[in-house]
Amino acid sequence: VVTLCQEGLATHYRSLFSRVTPLPWSDTQASIRDVYVPLDVVTEDGKKLQLSHVLPPVVTSGRGKRVLVEGESGSGKTYLADMLTYMWAGQRAYFTNHYNFLILIDARTVQGSLAKAVYSQVLPENFKVGVDELWRILEANARDTVLVIDGFDGDNGNEELKQIVVGDTFRHATVLMTSRPEARAGKWLKPDYRLYVLGLSSLNVGRCLKSYAVIAQMTSEEYDEFHDVIISPEFEFRVHLGNPYVCLAVFGVYLATGEAGLASVTSLTSLFEQFLVAMATSFCRKTDIAVPGTEFPSDVISAISNLQALAYRMLVTKGKLLSESDLERVVTHLRAALQAGDEDENTATPTDDGSTEKER
């Protein structure tokens, strides 16, 4: 049964991370290994760590290691946790420190029973081993288990998860958790040591953007034009490109609105305002909704406004999950926007040869 659980975990993780969607405006999928660009991960004394050295050493007596991995929002903490999981699933010997079990937990989505939440996150439906039996196996093999808890902070709200993190339960397991510095996890947790995710080096910024260009099927000439824009002295925002999410937003803005869109970027706020415009533009293109300039149809604007309001409310309330009513409201507005695109398609202007402008 132990072997069955190990194989089930590995199979699930390999399947999950072999089909990631790197560009949120595109349906193109790729293996995380093909798009992962190494992040700068350093110890408390500034020593850089390779991915293969990130998992903590196995402890043979006493409490397992508790390691806090801190990084600013968008610095790549989730990216790192996902890649650790993928490599464990396919190449366990890659790591300096070996574990028979690795459990990836998204702390932001844990509600109710921790055992059930973990089971639903890490194993496929209709798996032969049940929730209680999996948990017993993990507890029996705790010293060979590393829990990678992503997005954990003191406000998470799940008491079972907090008890594991501080070592009151699942004491012998090793725990590696990611958090933002502003969450100040250190005020209630005393980790054995800390690691810091600093984002991308200047060399890896180029590799990251190049991987996006490949996925977006940019030609070499198109990428060279984009690269010239972002390395230009006039593009002062290039100093922020070490943040992987900023890289994604910059690429998305350029792809949708060109150099003119990037020219208006002077701060993180203006970048993500332009990113929202870029996403709306991409949405309209995919659904054949005509957009003169940036004058989006009212249904698209309504969908954007509702998403903005929802995002603001979650920021203020520190919410982690969307309710069913939230999701239904968003889906309703997106459907209305899609319906607007269908109506535009159906009412396209006929031409002399009997075709429509959209067909032509």
- SS3 assignment, position 132: helix
Mean pLDDT, residues 119-129 taken together: 80
Question: In terms of domains, do 54 and 138 share one?
Answer: yes
| Higher per-residue pLDDT: 267 or 195 | 195
Judged against a pLDDT cut of 90, whether residue 17 lies above it is answered with yes
Domain annotation covers residue 331: yes
Give the model confidence (pLDDT) of 155-170 as tens digits. 656 788 888 888 999 9
Calculate helix-pair angle for 220-231, 244-263, nearest 10 degrees.
90
Domain span holding position 137:
2-199
CB contact at 8 A, 67 and 193: yes
Give the model confidence (pLDDT) of 90-116 as tens digits. 998 999 999 999 999 988 888 778 888
Judged against a pLDDT cut of 60, whether residue 358 lies above it is answered with no
CB contact at 8 A, 173 and 164: yes
CB contact at 8 A, 357 and 349: yes
- Among residues 94, 40, 8, the alpha carbon closest in space to that of 208 is found at 40
Q: How far apart are CA 84 and CA 81, in angstroms?
A: 5
Q: How far apart are CA 180 and CA 74, in angstroms?
A: 10
Mean pLDDT, residues 312-321 taken together: 66
Name the residue with tokens 């603001």.
312
Question: In terms of domains, do 170 and 286 share one?
Answer: no
Domain annotation covers residue 359: no
CB contact at 8 A, 26 and 215: yes
Report the number of distinct structural domains present in the chain. Answer: 2
Give the model confidence (pLDDT) of 186-245 as tens digits. 667 789 999 999 999 999 999 999 999 999 999 999 999 999 999 988 888 888 999 999
Question: Predicted confidence band at 154 (pLDDT cuts at 50, 70, 90)?
Answer: low
| Higher per-residue pLDDT: 184 or 277 | 277
Question: In terms of domains, do 233 and 172 share one?
Answer: no
Question: Predicted confidence band at 178 (pLDDT cuts at 50, 70, 90)?
Answer: very high
pLDDT at 356: 40
CB contact at 8 A, 54 and 84: yes
Residue 93: Cβ within 10 Å count = 7
